[in-house]
Amino acid sequence: MADGPLELLAKARAGEADALGELCALYRNYLRMVVRTGLGPRLRERVELSDVVQEALVEVVRQFPQFTGENEAALVGWLRRLVGQKLADLGRYHSRVKRAGAGSAVPLEAATTGRAGPGDEGGRLLDVLALSQTSPSQAVSRREQTVLLADALAALPTPEADVLWLYYADNLSFEAIGERFGLSRKSIRGIMVRGLKRLKRSLEGPPGGLLRYDDDATPQ
């Protein structure tokens, strides 16, 4: 059985380079979700998301000896703050470009406003999926829900992931999303319903899991 985050954390602190690599891989999807949220829709058109994620991972490896947390929640918070620093660096770069007259700066939402706070990256989606902790012991046994959500989103077919992201993270209407894809409002809603159902199956785990989903809760 593959090591969990706490086992990898302990091994990485003991100097096992492979464990640190596995730890980074375990949170790549989460970092991608945080970066995508922080960049905002306009800047995402000008920078390569994968490049920013890779730079963030380099910083994770470089600054890992400074991390002193003991659980996954602390690790996730540290990763989120580290990404915030990287996004702030991007924001300062674009400001310098503007002052130099080489182009117009693009607002960097999370880095300048602190938008990417705890749970913000996937909070609306988790609300729609009706997160419910049935017992303290069961809650402790679960991974961080935003990390699980990031992994589940990464596993979705691209159209479903994109529609869910544009609706819940970028706050676009079905009509606006439909214009981007050349599809009707009804088609976009159908894609969203399929995506939400896939997420539910991925996240709820065994029968009686923590997530419940109701078709009636899907936006109309």
**In a shared domain, residues 110 and 131:** no
Angle, helices 49-63 vs 28-43, to 10°: value is 130
Assess whether 133 and 61 both reside in one domain. no
Asked if 107 and 133 sit in the same domain, the reply is no
Model confidence at 201, pLDDT cuts 50, 70, 90, reads: confident
Give the pTM: 0.76
Compute the average pLDDT of residues 17-44: 87
Last residue of a domain, one of 98, 115, 132: 115
CATH number at residue 165: 1.10.10.10
Pair (109, 14) in one structural domain: yes
Lowest mean pLDDT among 12-21, 119-128, 183-192: 119-128
Q: What is the CATH number of the domain that holds 91?
A: 1.10.1740.10
- Which range has the worst mean pLDDT, 3-17, 136-150, 164-178, 204-218? 204-218
Stretch among 16-25, 84-93, 108-117 having the lowest mean pLDDT: 108-117
- Which structural domain, as residue segments, surrounds residue 58? 1-115
167: closest CA among 199, 144, 142? 199
Chain mean position to CA 183:
26
Structure tokens, 171: 């706050």
Do 11 and 78 share a domain, yes or no? yes
Residues 16 and 97 occupy one common structural domain: yes
Residue pLDDT, tens place only, 80-92: 999 988 888 887 7
Q: What is the mean pLDDT of the chain?
A: 78
Q: Are 202 and 155 in contact, with CB atoms under 8 Å apart?
A: yes
Q: What total of structural domains would you count in the chain? A: 2
Same domain, 57 and 97: yes
Last residue of a domain, one of 51, 82, 115: 115
Based on the fold, state whether residues 78 and 148 are members of the same structural domain: no
153 & 69 share domain: no
**Same-domain status, 50 and 3:** yes
Locus of tokens 């009706």:
130
3-class DSSP state for residue 142?
coil
Same domain assignment for residues 206 and 160? yes
Could you tell me how far CA 197 lies from the centroid of its own chain? 19
Picking from 85, 115, 145, the residue at the C-terminal end of a domain is 115
Looking at the structure, tell me whether residues 143 and 63 fall in a common domain: no
